[in-house]
């Protein structure tokens, strides 16, 4: 199997799961990686400060910068001045990168370089600074590697983007369109969290305890909670791009519910559930002992939120608005 480097999305997930105290073997399963790869990533790109050891840890942005710098150090055309000059001289003669690479191999140079590497370097920061692209037979604004392929099984594919979500969902015109999220608590609570759901039109809230942040576990629990509702009352759910939601396909296959996703790092695009989380924090602060909350207690919290009149509903409560919409489905 071809080697693929960790990207920023995976590194962000690793940081989140380490903060949630998940073991590395579990993190590897969630990412679809071998546990040795995850161990190596954490060790190589973790942050270490001898003067302030309390800051030591794994941070996604720091890890990404470390990996980028390491790749730059090992790139031949940056690391080897003689090879770089040989390539530049031939490019300025009007040779194509393929001709340059082929000729270097033919002449028996000790170090070879592929034409794709030359293209990437020409269109990269170093090549742009020297305006090397103007020497190419066919100049473009940028180049994507010829053999690069888009993943056939993307975690959050473009067609599931919130920008593809029908306008009537955005306008809250139809019933049965939900938003979902997880409320995370202090590390002392382990991986336990509270799942929050809100129906966009009626602002009706559903909260339930979720014992870990595994996507498989969360989706199974979510399906169990949503199944009693008629299909017309559970048409879609909008999530952010957290790793807990990567098994979203189970929703469509299990209960026929469509999933939509916010842009990366844009949780405000699901503002209804973010608002709900803020309200729920009044009774579920971050130091709440989640393990002690029973199912009846979680139901009471949901009922309390749903019994509060809302200006956006004409001072009806979410429970009243939800019952009215459910009655229309009978």
Q: What is the mean pLDDT of the chain?
A: 87
For residue 167, the model assigns a pLDDT of 93
pLDDT number for residue 139: 59
Place of tokens 């559970």: 234
Residue for token digits 């009806």? 316
The pLDDT tens digits for 147-158 are: 444 444 578 999
- Neighbouring-strand partners of residue 206: 197
Other CB atoms within a 10 A radius of the CB of residue 92 amount to 12
* DSSP state letters, 205-254: EEEEEES---HHHHHHHHHHHHTTS-GGG-SEEEE-S-GGGTTTHHHHHH
Please write the tens of the pLDDT for every residue from 229-268: 999 999 999 999 988 999 999 999 999 999 999 998 888 8
- At residue 1 the predicted structure's pLDDT band, cuts being 50, 70 and 90, is very low
Instruction: Look up residue 32 and give its two tokens.
Output: 């679809």
pTM above 0.85, yes or no: no
**Which residue pairs from 296-299 have beta carbons closer than 8 angstroms and sit at least 24 positions apart in sequence?**
298/194, 298/207, 298/208, 298/209
What span, in angstroms and rounded, lies between the C-alpha atoms of 299 and 54?
40
Give 108-133 pLDDT, tens digit per residue: 777 778 888 888 888 877 778 888 88
Instruction: Using alpha carbons only, give the angle 251, 255, 261 rounded to the nearest 5 degrees.
Output: 30
């Amino acid at each position: 199997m071809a080697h693929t480097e960790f990207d920023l999305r995976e590194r962000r997930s690793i940081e989140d799961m380490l903060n949630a105290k998940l073991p590395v073997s579990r993190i590897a399963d969630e990412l679809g990686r071998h546990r040795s790869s995850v161990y190596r990533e954490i060790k190589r790109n973790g942050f270490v400060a001898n003067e302030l050891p309390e800051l030591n840890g794994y941070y996604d942005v720091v890890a990404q910068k470390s990996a980028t710098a390491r790749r730059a150090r090992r790139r031949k055309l940056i690391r080897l001045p003689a090879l770089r000059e040989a390539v530049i001289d031939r490019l300025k003669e009007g040779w194509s990168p393929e001709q340059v690479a082929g000729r270097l191999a033919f002449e028996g140079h000790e170090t070879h370089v592929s034409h794709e590497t030359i293209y990437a370097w020409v269109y990269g920061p170093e090549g742009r600074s020297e305006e090397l692209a103007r020497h190419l037979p066919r100049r473009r604004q940028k180049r994507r590697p010829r053999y690069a392929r888009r993943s056939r099984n993307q975690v959050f594919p473009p067609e599931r983007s919130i920008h593809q979500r029908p306008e009537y969902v955005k306008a809250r015109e139809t019933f049965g369109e939900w938003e979902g999220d997880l409320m995370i608590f202090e590390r002392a609570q382990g991986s336990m969290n509270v799942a929050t759901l809100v129906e966009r039109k009626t602002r009706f809230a559903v909260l339930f305890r979720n014992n870990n942040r595994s996507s498989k576990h969360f989706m199974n629990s979510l399906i169990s909670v949503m199944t009693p509702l008629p299909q017309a009352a559970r048409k879609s759910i909008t999530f952010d791009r957290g790793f807990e939601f990567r098994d979203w396909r189970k929703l469509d296959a299990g209960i026929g519910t469509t999933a939509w996703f916010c842009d990366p790092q844009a949780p405000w695009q699901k503002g209804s559930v973010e608002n709900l989380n803020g309200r729920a924090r009044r009774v579920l602060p971050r130091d709440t002992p989640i393990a002690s909350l029973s199912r009846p207690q979680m139901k009471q919290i949901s009922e309390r939120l749903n019994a509060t009149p809302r200006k956006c509903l004409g001072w009806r409560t979410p429970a009243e608005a939800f019952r009215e919409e459910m009655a229309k489905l009978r």
